[in-house]
Amino acid sequence: MKIPIKYILRNFKSRKLTTMITVSGIALVVFVFAAVLMMAYGIQSTLIATGSIDNVKIVRKAANGEISSIIDGETQNVVRSLPHIAVTTEGKQIISNEPVVIINLDKPDGAMGNITVRGVSPLSNYLRPQLKIKEGRMFKFGVRELIVGSSISKRFVGAKIGDIVKFAGDDWKLVGIFSADGSGFESEILGDALQLLGAFNRGNTVSTITLKLDDAKNFDTFKRAFDADRRLQQFEVKTERDYFEEQSELMATFIRVLGIFVTVIFSFGATIGAMITMYSAVANRTVEVGTFRALGFSRRSILAAFLTESILISLFGGLLGILLASLLSFFSISTLNFGSFSELEFSFSTSPSIIISSLVFALTMGIIGGFLPAVRAARMNIVNALRAG
Alpha carbon separation from 241 to 85, 244, 247, 351 (Å, rounded): 17, 5, 10, 20
pLDDT tens for residues 62-114?
888 888 899 999 999 999 999 999 999 999 999 999 999 988 888 888 788 88
Q: Give the mean pLDDT of the chain.
A: 84
Residue 290: half-sphere exposure toward Cβ, Cα within 13 Å: 14
Question: Residue 343 in contact with residue 187, Cβ under 8 Å?
Answer: yes
The three-point CA angle 268-335-256 to 5° equals 30
Question: Residue 378 in contact with residue 290, Cβ under 8 Å?
Answer: no
pLDDT tens for residues 215-274?
999 999 999 999 999 999 999 999 988 888 887 777 777 777 877 787 878 787 777 877
Sheet containing 235-239, strands listed edge to edge, beginning at the edge strand earlier in sequence:
95-98, 208-212, 55-60, 235-239
pLDDT over 90 percentage in the chain: 38
pLDDT tens for residues 214-232?
999 999 999 999 999 999 9
Of the chain, the end-to-end C-alpha distance in Å amounts to 23
pLDDT tens for residues 110-156?
788 888 999 999 988 899 988 999 999 999 999 999 999 998 988 89
What gap in Å lies between CA 234 and CA 230, rounded to an integer? Answer: 9
Given a cut of 60, whether residue 295 has pLDDT beyond it is yes
Burial of residue 88 (CB within 10 Å: 0-12, 13-18, 19+) is exposed
Helix (H) or strand (E) holding 149: strand 145-149
Burial of residue 120 (CB within 10 Å: 0-12, 13-18, 19+) is buried
114: phi then psi, degrees, rounded to nearest 5: -85, 135
pLDDT of residue 261: 82
